Amino acid sequence: MDYDAIVLGAGGAGLLAAAMAGQAGARVLVLDHADRPGKKILISGGGRCNFTNTGAEPGCYLSENIHFAKSALSRYTQWDFLALVERHGIAWHEKTLGQLFCDGSARQIVAMLLDECERGGVEVRLQARIGEIGHADGLFRVAGASAPQLVIATGGPSIPKMGATGIAFDIARRFGLSVVPPRPALVPFVLGPEAQPFREIAGVAVPVIARCGTAAFAEAALFTHRGLSGPAILQVSSYWHPGAAVVLSVLPGAAEKLRAARRAMPRSHLRAVLAEHLPNRLAEVMAQRIGAAREMANLPDTEIDRIAGALEALTFHPTGTEGYAKAEVTAGGISTAELSSRTMEAKRLPGLYAIGEAVDVTGWLGGYNFQWAWSSGVAAGRAIAARRG
């Protein structure tokens, strides 16, 4: 036995799990095929890493078992991670909606994690090929090393050009663990030809309330050459399934606003009224689509209500998403039914753990996914140390 634990994946979850276990005395090896650790951290948050969210709580996560994340999130919170950031002297700021970013660079978060690993005597081996994983006599054998504990922390297949793979799911299946079908999430939508007028206003952004099923997010939407993007759209994409509608309110409170405009600008046409509230090009597309040719003064209440309905429920049926190439995360993954919510250890194969994005727990946009990586990583790291002790 060479190590107490081998961690597969030097992303946020794997590095923090390794550091925790190492600092508690475990001998830990981290393996990653990349040429440097924490690549997704480095590109996250526009290079400043939105490392957590002050509002992180279980309701901000999707999973087949919505209760699963509670334990880990409550035992290592956003405030615990923030305390770690502050101990390392990393300056940070809150941008919007509770999202915390580095003032400087995401490189500081990776350096912090590597420093924590070093303190725990963790060995990080990069450009390593995982290959076949053996398991016999209570030991996992991988890449020429062996240990009684193995952590799957290789994330999901989002952004394959950065080296992301679905190997976590292959390993899980190899050990008999079920996998909730993975799908791209936090991902832009592709729209069909019926949405051509909106594709022609690519680049226009507007604050909306975006809805898909029961999910609703008030943030910006962005029209693109292929369809829809922007934070509100990425948020609802995680709840979308093929065939489902995405409904945008581009003018919340539209009926009152239109009635006020009828009083204030009775001789104006709808296009001019909409331009008071919406970006010009969107106002034009919406006015054409709604087709109210009369002056505002001549619009009866029923017509105002119809127009308001169109503005509050602009409905799209995406033909699909832009897929893993553009998805910020992978939803689905190793089934939580297979894992202890306290330790992330596989119930039917003690010594095997799964953490981070590889697991069927997916956060909203805004620092929630890193918080899950930290919380689940710490849960496993502590358990590894405890088992060894």
Q: Which residues bind ligand FDA (CB under 6 A)?
A: 9-14, 32-34, 39-40, 43-45, 49-50, 130, 153-155, 158-159, 163-165, 167, 328-329, 356-358, 367-370, 373
Distances (CA, A) of 237 to 220, 241, 310, 364: 14, 8, 22, 10
Strands 246-249 and 205-212: antiparallel
Q: Shortest distance, CB of residue 17 to ligand FDA, whole angstroms? A: 9
- Residue pair 13/373 in contact (Cβ under 8 Å)? The answer is yes
Give the separation between CA 284 and CA 38, rounded to whole angstroms. Answer: 45
Complex with ligand FDA: residue 237 or 249, whichever CB lies closer = 237
Q: Which is nearer to ligand FDA, 149 or 362 (CB)?
A: 362
User: Which of 140/316 has CB closer to ligand FDA?
Assistant: 140
Cβ of residue 363: shortest distance to ligand FDA, in angstroms? 6
Q: Tally the residues of the chain.
A: 389
Looking up tokens 């009926």, which residue turns up? 255
CA distances from residue 305 to 269, 296, 299 in whole angstroms, order as listed: 16, 13, 10
Q: Which residues pair with 53 in a beta bridge?
A: 99
Please identify, using beta-carbon distances, which residue of 8 and 221 lies nearer to ligand FDA: 8
Instruction: Provide the minimum distance between the beta carbon of 375 and ligand FDA in the complex, in angstroms, as a whole number.
Output: 11
Left if phi > 0, otherwise alpha if psi is -120 to 50, otherwise beta: which for 28?
beta
Residue closer to ligand FDA by CB (options 75, 294) is 75
- Report in angstroms how near the CB of residue 65 gets to ligand FDA at its nearest: 18
Nearest distance in Å: CB 70, ligand FDA: 18
Q: What whole-number distance in Å separates Cα of residue 90 and Cα of residue 253?
A: 42
